Chain A
Amino acid sequence: MVRLITHNLLACHAKGCTTNNFPLKLQDVVVEVREAEFNADFLRGFLPRIEWTALVNAAKELGDTSLPLEMPEMVDDEFLKNLHHVLLEIHVDEGAMVCPNCGHKYPIMNGIPNMLLAEHEIG
């Protein structure tokens, strides 16, 4: 299953694709929401790793607008609850992730993105 927590870490790894290769654009997605255990410490620790604008936009593409446009300086409970939901509870089941630079399409089937490259795309 891909969730936005991993989408937010993933850049295109095709040969020579090193700039403007993040975030991968979500396309034709089917999502499913599944409950996950809330852990405030995990979220706080993970926060500095997040590319915020990419996360907010990806969430919006999946129909969730609960996150503020800027990463808040004060982290309160309500914010963490929303962040938890966006990062860990929305699963992309079908669709694709497309590289904004080289256009490589990583299809997602049955919740699993296919990251395999063709021989000429391998770095």
Chain B
Amino acid sequence: MSRPELVAPPEIYYGDIEAKKYTNNTRVQQIQADMTYRALELLNLPQDEPAFLLDIGCGSGLSGEILDEEGYNWVGVDIAPSMLEVALEREVEGDLFLHDIGQGFGFRPGSFDGAISISVIQWLLNAETSHPTSSPPHRLTRFFTTLHSALRNPSRAVLQFYPTSDDQIQLITSIAQKAGFGGGVVVDYPNSKKAKKVFLCLFVGSGGAQQVPKGLDGEEVDGDSQAQFEKRREKFSSRGKNGRRKNIKDKDWILKKKELYRQRGKEGVPRDSKYTARKRRPVF
């Protein structure tokens, strides 16, 4: 199967039909959710402080729904109107913008406590026209410089993406560095064809102990990433029930929202579980 970003521009590829297909696919939902949780771990936000986050390429809200569940306020931007429409239907709580991240952001300096991006920035590696502002390096530069200024000092941005080569990773990290970011690439399960995931973990300022976190590895077995993630999460959650983050939304509030979604016939509302409204802790 050919990579989506080679098939058509994003706002065309994610048209009405693909937007629905993508969003309703339970496997996609699970993978995007897992990567969002992992991105939040890598974001390493200060405990007990509420945060205002940016979801870059928020799409139909699969990543944003996790931010809602975790009690964050957030803003989402995406270039595909059909994806945003699905996000509206699913009633995510973030503010949504139709926006091409390759054109840069207009957010005031220090607007966000952190940013995540799940399965998006590989799209910036493809030029759509011959106009100079549409060359990948130009768009990446615009993107990273304006993102850097939109973030608070110190803070982090964690961007999971699908590179096709080491050259692409090299290009992206070097432009991010020129834009002022520290940090680097974290690769989870590098030896597993299926479970391997690349996260660009970027730092603004010194940000505490700003060392590039280690990737996950080892026991990961192809096709078993699910169990691995769950086990790992359980471990963190048992690390102490005190110090529950204050901005975490009330369990009652979340259950109320979910009930509301169900009544409106929303598909794919996560089941209530012992994980609902539960605190997740960073790994390192």
Chain A positions near chain B (C-beta within 8 angstroms) = 1-3, 5-6, 9-13, 21-22, 36-37, 39, 41-42, 45-46, 49, 51, 88, 110-117, 119, 122-123
Contact = CB atoms under 8 A, between A and B. Distances in A.
Contacts of B105: 13
A110 B250 CA distance: 29
B32 interface: no
B107 A9 contact: yes
Contacts, number: 91
Contact of A10 (B49, B79, B107, B246): B107
A43 B105 CA distance: 24
A117 B247 CA distance: 35
Interface residues of B, number: 36
A13 B103 contact: yes
Interface in B217-245: none
Given A42-B247, A111-B88, A112-B98, A11 B142 contact: no
B100 interface: yes
B247 A49 contact: no
Contacts of A45: 49-50
Q: Which 7 A-B pairs give the minimum distances between C-beta atoms?
A: A13-B106, A42-B50, A9-B111, A115-B99, A122-B133, A6-B95, A114-B98
A37 B50 contact: no
Nearest to B78: A112
Contacts of B146: 13
B96 A119 contact: no
Nearest to A42: B50
A47 to B, nearest CB: 12
A13 B96 contact: no
B260 to A, nearest CB: 11
Interface in B111-131: 111, 129, 131
Given A5-B73, A10-B108, A39 B97 contact: no
B209 to A, nearest CB: 22
